[in-house]
Amino acid sequence: MARLFGTDGVRGVVNEFLTPELAYHLGRAGATYFGKEKEKPTFLVGSDTRISSPMLESAIAAGICAAGGNVVMAGTLPTPAVAYLVRTEGFDAGVMISASHNPFPDNGIKFFDGNGFKLPDDVEDQLEAYVHESANNELPRPTGDGIGTIEVKMDLVRHYGEFVRSTVQTSLEGLTIVYDGANGAASAIGPDILTGLGANVIAINIGPDGQNINRQCGSTHLEGLQEAVKAHKADLGIANDGDADRCLLVDENGDILDGDQIMLLCALKLKEEGKLKEDTIVGTVMSNIGFHKAAEELGMKTVSTAVGDRYVLEYMREHNLSIGGEQSGHVIFLDYNTTGDGMLTAVQVAALVKEKGKPLSELASIMTKYPQVLINVRVATKTGWDSNDIIKAAIVTAEGELGDEGRVLVRASGTEPLIRVMAEGPRLDELQALTQEIADIIGREQGLAE
C-alpha cells in the first residue's frame, strides 16, 4: 500500500482520494498523537479558498473533537500564517487545508507541531497507523466533557500580517507593485501587507470563487502578471501560489525571477548585514548551475538537498542556517518563520529594491541562469521507473552527450502523478531534444495517465 503522506502532507482529488471520512480519521489521529503529551490539545485549523476546504475543515475538526482535542478555526489564511500562529499563540498543533499550487479539484491536509514545523516522517507514519486504527474504530472515544470544543477566530490572520510587516524597517512608499494572489489564501492579506508598508499596489487575481484558485494565475502562471507589470510600469510584480508559501517575482521589464535568484539576492543582503550564518545558502538538486557559480563568486557557499522544502528545512535546522529554498519559490527565512513564506519573501525583496534604489533587473544581474528544460510526464504509475533499464539507458546517453557542461535530473513528483525530466546546460536546443526523448521513453514505459 502506498504511503498516505507525500512530501507535503496528504493530498489528492477530493471525494476520490481525500474524502471527508479520511479527513475525520486524520483529525482523530492528530488529536490522539498530540494528546499523548497534553490532555485536550488545541489545534489551529486554517484553509485556502477551494470549494472543498470548508467541508474538509469541518470533517477534520470533528475528528479532533471526537478524540478529545480542541479546535480554533481561523478561516482562510496562508500556510505560513498557520506555522507562525501555532508557535506564537500557544497552540499545541496546527492543520492547514490546502493543495498549494495544485488545481482546485485537489486538496490537502498538512500538520504542524507546536513549534510551527511540519512533521517528520516517523511522526507521519505514526499518524498513518492511527488513521487505520480510527477507521477500524480502535481509537478511544471520550464522552461527556471529554469531547473537544470548536471556537472560531477569524481575526488571527491580522497578527500574521503585522508580523510580516515587522520584518522590514524600510517603507515601500514610492514603489508600484503588482500583486497576484492566485485567487488563493493570501488574496486579502497580501495586498493589505504591501499597502500597510506604503506601496502603491495593483492587485490581480484576488477574487476567489472556490474554483479559480491557481487557474491561469499565481506563481504557476506568470503571463498575466508580466503583462500587468509592463502595462502599469510597475517596479516589480509578486506572485504567490494558492496557499502563499511560494513567491516568484517579475522585474520592471516583465522578466521572471525564480527562487534561486530570490534566495541569492536575499542571502547577499543578509551577508552584507552580517546575518548570513556560515555564509551558506541551502538549495535543492533543482537549483540552477548559475546559482552555485554566482554564490561562489559572491563569497557564499551552497548546499543542495532533495527536492521539497521540508528537506531544505531539515538541513537548515540541523546546521543552524539562515536561508534556503527551492527554485519553485519556497524560500525559508528560518530566523523569522518555520516554513516557506511567500509574503515574507516578497516584502524582503521589495524592501531591498527600495533600499538599493536600483531596478530589480539590475539587482538580479548578479546571477546568470543556465538554460534549463523541464518536462512533466503525467504517468499511470510513477513507481519503478528508476529500475527500468530502458529509461536508465536513455538518461545515461543524454548525460554522455552533455558531458561536463550540463546535467540530467529525473525524479518522481512527491505530490502529483508525474515524473519530472530536467536537463541543464549551455545549449537550449540540445536540452529540449534530450528531455523530450527521455520523456517520450518514460511515457511509453510507465504508461501515460488518462
Q: Catalytic residues, which ones?
A: 100
In the structure grid, which three cell numbers stand for residue 105, read together? 479539484
Q: Which residues contact residue 389 at a Cβ distance below 8 angstroms, ignoring those fewer than 6 apart?
A: none
Exposure b/e, 308-332, CB count within 10 A at least 16 = b: bbbbbbbbbeeeebbbbbbbbbbbb
Distance CA 33, CA 413 (A): 28
Residues 133 and 294: their CA atoms lie apart, in Å, by 51
CA-nearest of 25, 52, 18, 40 to 150 is 40
Give 91's contacts (C-beta < 8 A, 6+ positions apart): 42, 43, 44, 72, 85, 114
- Among all chains, which residue has been given the C-alpha cell 528544460? 373
Query: Cα separation of 49 and 415, whole Å?
Result: 19
Q: Tell me the angle at which helices 259-272 and 342-356 cross, rounded to the nearest 10 degrees.
A: 60
Interatomic CA distance for residues 141 and 70, integer angstroms: 14
34-to-3, 41, 112 alpha-carbon distances in Å: 21, 6, 11
Q: Which amino acid is at 224?
A: G
Q: How far apart are CA 229 and CA 54, in angstroms?
A: 34
Q: Residue 303 corresponds to which amino acid?
A: V
Q: How far apart are alpha carbons 52 and 242 in whole angstroms? A: 14
* DSSP-assigned letter for residue 370: P
Q: Are 235 and 353 in contact (CB under 8 A)?
A: yes
Output phi, psi for 21, to 5 deg. -65, -45
**Nine-digit cell string for 89:** 499563540
C-alpha cell at 71: 479546535
Reported as type and span, the H/E element at residue 123 is helix 121-135
